[in-house]
Amino acid sequence: MNQVTVHVDGKIKVFEVESGVLLSELLQKERLSFSMPCAGNHTCGKCKVKGSGAFSAPTPDELKFLSENERRNGVRLACFAKIEGDCQVILEKRQEGGAILSQTGTAVYRVNPRWTDGYGLAVDIGTTTVVVYLYRFPDGELFCVRSGMNAQRGFGADIISRINYCNENGLASLQEAIVSQLNQMIEEALSAVGASPETLNEIVIAGNTTMLHLLTGLDPYGIAVYPFTPVSLFGNELKPGFFKAAPAARVYLPGCISSYVGGDITCSILASGMTETKASLLLDLGTNGEMALWHRDRFYCCSTAAGPAFEGAGMQMGMTAVDGAVSKVWEENGEVRYSVLGEAVPAGICGSGIIDAVCMFVRLGLIDDTGRIDEEQESYARYGTEFGGFPALKIGDSGVLITQQDIRKLQLAKSAVAAGIRTLLHESGCEMEEVEALYLAGGFGTYISVDSAVGIGLFPAELKEKVRSIGNGAGAGASILLLDRDAEKQEKAVREAAQEVNLSSNPVFMDHYVEQMML
């Protein structure tokens, strides 16, 4: 057996491991904090760690993801490096909670709880992040908020990657990861207010359909294959004692609309108040692109294949919105300016920064309307460079690049969203001018520049002045269900009024998808 010493979060942990085990397998098994967006398929190059000692030699496929400086400093990809003897690993700690969206926008809570004392917890399990809100009964005062990156991110950045991992390895590891994380967050929230586990009376958990399957231990296989049938659409309670940290709590899971329009969207609809309008749109753009249109007392819902581009996972230097991420980019007096989360040294770029950068370079003429970087532009000598034999564009002096492949991935994602909006309008018979509001839910929708989004065609220009951010809509909706005993009737009414528009076989969507590819 080999001794592997891991430095993480200021602590030293030692493990006994057999030879030939991938470092990523050890990190997954021990639920140590690291990101592996492609789920170990050797395609993203994001699972970088500092390693020394007896590892397998880097292969050419691994080396292509590492710069010369990283190679000299012992950086390895966890999905390539095999443990062959005693070794050490450093998991660099980056502040991951600073940019996690916990604000619940302008949602209005009617306080009419089931309980006359104790506490309640509203939870948003996002594919990327997890947020919990601790409220006191019966007055509904918010006492504590805790947030963190989803502990499952080492198994893949998106739901398809995680489902594929389950298909090959079983779902026990992913269920254990999220249940353990929630138990810990529950304990931290109660400890912060000096409350005992027995005082936590109710928990409401919002999440997309896949996240709820993984939480409850249901096989998500059917979600990923035609005809895309989930085991459950939820809208039910879990058995007592599901969480060790809350043995007496009633645990309720808001219902989903379909395999790809989950309980998080149901909750966001509740929080938005969109049923008070004649016609309005709701978008939640993260690792999934989900949307709903309210028109003539019906909800028309769909999910677009946007992939993780908006969260930075699929980009060469992309990253989630944590400290070190370039989050805003603009041009000023002929110079490219940028801001970095946490005022840290630039380490990469998140979704809002990518959209800003592409929009800016389009305006500067360095990216044409087909998405091609134009090397013949006079300013290319100043802003342009090369990466992997292809042209790329520099974000000022940050050291961060936008590559040609990054632009293509963004085009695919933005085209899917833009086409989805227009398809919902077509299927409902709603005209663009009838839409009174465009509600943006989630972190990406909150931090994005509306001007940049409209500039690249992500949102219709006609809706620019109608954009309304509702913050963490899923968390807000879960809070409404927690604090108002009658809100479950409203949630059920939302689901009954909703119909899914299947985009995969919709000719209107395909026509718009091609048209909206242009920048």
pLDDT (mean) for 397-405: 94
Q: Which domains are delineated in the chain?
A: 2-91 (3.10.20.30), 119-264 (3.30.420.480), 268-306+409-474+500-515 (3.30.420.40), 308-405 (no CATH)
Q: What confidence tier does 273 reach under pLDDT thresholds 50, 70, 90?
A: very high
| Count, residues in the chain | 519
pLDDT at 518: 94
Q: Residue 127 carries which side chain, given as an amino acid letter?
A: T
**pTM above threshold 0.75:** yes
Does the pLDDT at position 105 exceed 70? no
H/E element, 133:
strand 129-136
How far is CA 291 from each of CA 117, 274, 460, rounded to the nearest angstrom? 37, 13, 14
Selected residue with higher pLDDT from 450 and 306: 450
How many angstroms from the chain centroid is the CA of residue 403?
22
Q: What confidence tier does 41 reach under pLDDT thresholds 50, 70, 90?
A: confident
CA gap 464, 451 in Å, rounded: 8
pLDDT (mean) for 243-272: 96
pLDDT at 97: 41
How far is CA 212 from each of CA 79, 133, 149, 159, 216, rounded to the nearest angstrom? 27, 18, 16, 11, 6
pLDDT in tens, 172-200: 999 999 999 999 999 999 999 999 999 99
Q: Residue 439 carries which side chain, given as an amino acid letter?
A: Y
Does the pLDDT at position 98 exceed 60? no
pLDDT (mean) for 455-472: 94
pLDDT in tens, 198-212: 999 999 999 999 999
CA gap 275, 15 in Å, rounded: 54
Does the pLDDT at position 92 exceed 70? no
